[in-house]
Amino acid sequence: MSIPLPSEKLERGLGLTEAVALNMNAMVGIGPFIVIPLVIQAMGGPQCLLAWVAGAVLSLLDGLVWAELGAAMPRAGGTYAFLREAYGPGRGGRLMSFLYIWQTLIQAPLVVASGAIGFSQYLTYLVPLGVYQQKAVSAALVVVLISLLYRRIAAVGLISKFLWIGVVGTILWMIWGGMTHFSARMAFDFPAGAWNWSWVFFAGLGSATVNTIYTYLGYYHICNLGAEIRQPERNIPRAILLSIAGIAVLYLAMQTSILGVVPWREAQNSQYIVSTFVERLYGTRAAAFATIMILWIAFASLFTTLLSYSRVPFAAAEDGNFFPVFARVHPTKHFPHISLLFLGAASLAFSVLFRLSSVIKAIIAVRLLVQFISQAVGVMILRRRWPPERLPFKMWLYPWPAVLSILGWAALFYYTGWKFALGGIGVITLGILTYMIQARYRRVWPFAAAGEAGR
């Protein structure tokens, strides 16, 4: 009996609307509501808006890389498939794709756990919770996410659109409230020396952009679901670019609105900046409602994130580069249930064991080298190797988006700080050692026997 191809085992049940909704759900989350004060602190005034623009520009440059690769290789796993093909399926691509799986098993549960922890902390604005009660809420949230995702992809798409309406509606409500009570004098109250362009300014911009880019991450999640997208050669690039543009406009408008209502010197120290913002506009009841909607947004983001990452170990296992059990697909619902359950269990454990502090920089430092920088290099390799007809979407102004995204990610890696940068390098080094041990045992590249190098 022949082994089904990924396109046969998974159901192509997501169109452009669902793809945009899933991406935007993943991008917003709890992130912007947590990092707004951090961005203002790093820049020291309303010039923090520049960090949101910088994050949007870098996301757009990198989004063009993802769009080209996603349209050419609409497969489950996204980056796993991209790195494997770019660096050679039987050669360096086996190592690079393994390293992506390695980092995913570490950072994906951390991403979900950080969102669950942020959810429980924001909930304390409404309900006083102790430390252990917050951990219980985080764990329960992960369980709910798993139960909702344990179904066919078409049903998941409908849930994502329902959540997306709440995400966009909440942000638009905040923007409208800010604009109708807007004080330009307050919003653009720049301190002395705000635009001195010294090294201190750029250090602040780098630190602030590390935080803003965290809130943009997610525009690529649809690539992990490539085998479940209808007309992927058209819908994947459109979904990526539309979600980046839409979120950039919403973030800039939201940050400007907040600055026009809450003085930046106060906003930079607020633990619940959006709740404070809405309370200033409409009172405590409205602030409570806004907090509920922030929790809705956080839930929608975690829903998409766990859905997307569950396809990565599945793709690797199906390719023979990971434990075979992860390649199992639910017999009636047609989704990789073992992969979902494993990442969900790890997320639950991390949400109980870890604190939110420093998680953002740690996540970014782990991901930049293998996923973003290596992938941008990979698209240039494929441009030289593949004929034009194998690339249904080609990035504009090639190769500048890829080159500039590499430089941008390298700068952000530096601005995470030496401790986190060394930690990211350490994770990669340990992954290389793990790969070499298992490669030698399995006699695959670079230890394959003569005539077997293509394995």
**What pTM did the predictor assign?**
0.85
Count, residues in the chain: 455
For residues 253 and 244, the answer to whether their CB atoms sit within 8 Å is: no
User: Could you tell me which of 26, 36, 52, 38 has the C-alpha nearest to residue 115?
Assistant: 26
The CATH code of the domain at 11-442 is: 1.20.1740.10
Give residue 165's pLDDT. 84
pLDDT for residue 261: 95
Say if residues 119 and 109 touch (Cβ distance below 8 Å): no
Which pLDDT value is given to residue 453? 52
The C-alpha atoms of residue 172 and residue 313 are separated, in whole angstroms, by: 36
Q: How many CA atoms lie within 13 A of 380 on its CB side?
A: 15
Gap between the Cα atoms of 379 and 18, Å rounded: 26
Per-residue model confidence (pLDDT) at position 452: 55
Q: How far is CA 25 from CA 160, 161, 319, 344, 363, in A?
A: 8, 9, 29, 18, 19
Write down the pLDDT at residue 30.
78
Domain ranges of the chain: 11-442
**pLDDT for position 157:** 73
For the chain, 455 residues long, the average pLDDT of each consecutive 10-residue run is 46 88 82 88 95 97 97 89 91 92 86 86 87 92 92 74 82 91 94 91 93 91 89 96 95 95 93 88 90 85 85 84 86 88 92 73 84 96 94 96 96 90 91 91 82 52
What per-residue confidence (pLDDT) applies to 2?
35
